[in-house]
Amino acid sequence: MIRFQTPLVPAVLIRRYKRFLADIRLEDGREVVAHCANPGAMTGLALPGTTIWVESNDDPRKKLDYGWRLTELPCGHMACVDTGAANRVVGAALAKGQIPALAGCDTIRAEQRYGEKSRIDFLLSHDGRPDTYVEVKSVTLSRQSGLAEFPDTVTARGARHLAELARVAQGGQRAVLFYLVQRTDCMATTVAVDIDPAYAAALNAARAAGVEVLAYRAEITPSKITLGCEIPVS
């Protein structure tokens, strides 16, 4: 579980632009610029007029006073648009042994260099067993009710990560691709083949090489994000 540093406050999205910026309207009527920590397409999550939740900060080193964290979905559901939150949620769950397939490690190290100019999100070390390399992906796209999809845009970087994981698995270590679905209205996930067929092909090759794939759903509220249940990958 992770908690937001300051309580989130609701706002209305006016527009998202330049990928990392969003004009928003706060409850008191003020219009301000918020940081959007998501380089992806954010399909369906950045519609003007949508209710969003933002986090304020008083850090003088930051240029903007607000960061966009959540988007409200129909029927009371939530999506976390902060891609960096996925690693924090998974890291907290790993530390508490809450992911059975990845429990029992002796040490957990984040952002370790490996392969060719890559960093693995988490490197799990075990006494007397091969290391486990865990790559985390934040999933927020959903074009079909109840089904999440990755990626939401072409990702050459994602395909490169899969190739690196495949080489790890072929070398005798354990490699795991971990999809965290950061929206509460989905109970399964799949690959958006039509958006990025090269990524889909890279995933098939990685799985054939021995890369394991796990998927979990996040439980999201304006105060915290918790690792929820494991969900199927189709």
For 78-120, what is each residue's pLDDT tens digit?
Answer: 999 999 999 999 999 999 999 999 999 999 999 999 887 789 9
Does residue 188 share a domain with residue 93? yes
pLDDT digits (tens, 9 = 90+) for 140-195: 999 999 999 999 999 999 999 999 999 999 999 999 999 999 999 999 999 999 99
Residue 231 in this model has a pLDDT that exceeds 80: yes
Question: Helix, strand or coil for residue 105?
Answer: coil
Q: Please report, for the domain that includes residue 153, its CATH number.
A: 3.40.1350.60
The residue from 61, 80, 99 where one domain ends is: 80
CB-CB contact of 42 with 27 (8 Å): no
The residue from 31, 49, 80 where one domain ends is: 80
Q: If 0-12 CB within 10 Å is exposed, 13-18 middle and 19+ buried, where does residue 192 land?
A: buried
Does residue 94 share a domain with residue 33? no
What band does 214 get if pLDDT is binned at 50, 70 and 90?
Answer: very high
Does residue 112 share a domain with residue 57? no
Does residue 182 share a domain with residue 146? yes
Nearest by Cα to 219 from 93, 45, 41, 51: 93
Residue 60 in this model has a pLDDT that exceeds 80: no
**The pair of three-digit structure tokens given for residue 219, joined into one six-digit string:** 């439980």
Does residue 98 share a domain with residue 12? no
The residue from 33, 58, 80 where one domain ends is: 80
**126-147 burial string, b = 16+ CB within 10 Å, else e?**
eeeeebbbbbbbbbbbbeeeeb
CA separation (Å) from 171 to 53, 167, 168, 175, 211? Answer: 44, 6, 5, 10, 11
What band does 31 get if pLDDT is binned at 50, 70 and 90?
Answer: very high
Question: Domain of 111?
Answer: 84-230
Does residue 67 share a domain with residue 120? no
Q: Please report, for the domain that includes residue 29, its CATH number.
A: 2.40.50.580
Question: Helix, strand or coil for residue 50?
Answer: coil
In angstroms, the CA 73 to CA 232 distance is: 22
- % of the chain with per-residue pLDDT over 90: 91
CB-CB contact of 183 with 228 (8 Å): no
Residue 121 in this model has a pLDDT that exceeds 90: yes
Residue 128 in this model has a pLDDT that exceeds 90: no
Sheet holding 188-191, edge to edge: 141-144, 147-150, 188-191
Does residue 104 share a domain with residue 46? no
Does residue 38 share a domain with residue 93? no
Does residue 130 share a domain with residue 223? yes
- For the chain, the average pLDDT equals 95
Residue 126 in this model has a pLDDT that exceeds 90: no
Does residue 210 share a domain with residue 171? yes
Predicted confidence at residue 212, as pLDDT, reads 98
Does residue 97 share a domain with residue 69? no
How many domains does the structure of the chain reveal? Answer: 2
Rounded mean pLDDT of 30-58?
95
- What is the CA 6 to chain-centroid distance, rounded? 20
Does residue 204 share a domain with residue 94? yes
Q: Roughly what angle, to the nearest 10 degrees, separates helices 156-170 and 197-208?
A: 10
Rounded mean pLDDT of 202-225?
98
CB-CB contact of 33 with 64 (8 Å): yes
Residue 131 in this model has a pLDDT that exceeds 80: yes
In angstroms, the CA 15 to CA 13 distance is: 6
Query: Which amino acid does the sequence have at 161?
Result: H
Neighbours of 233 (CB within 10 A): 17
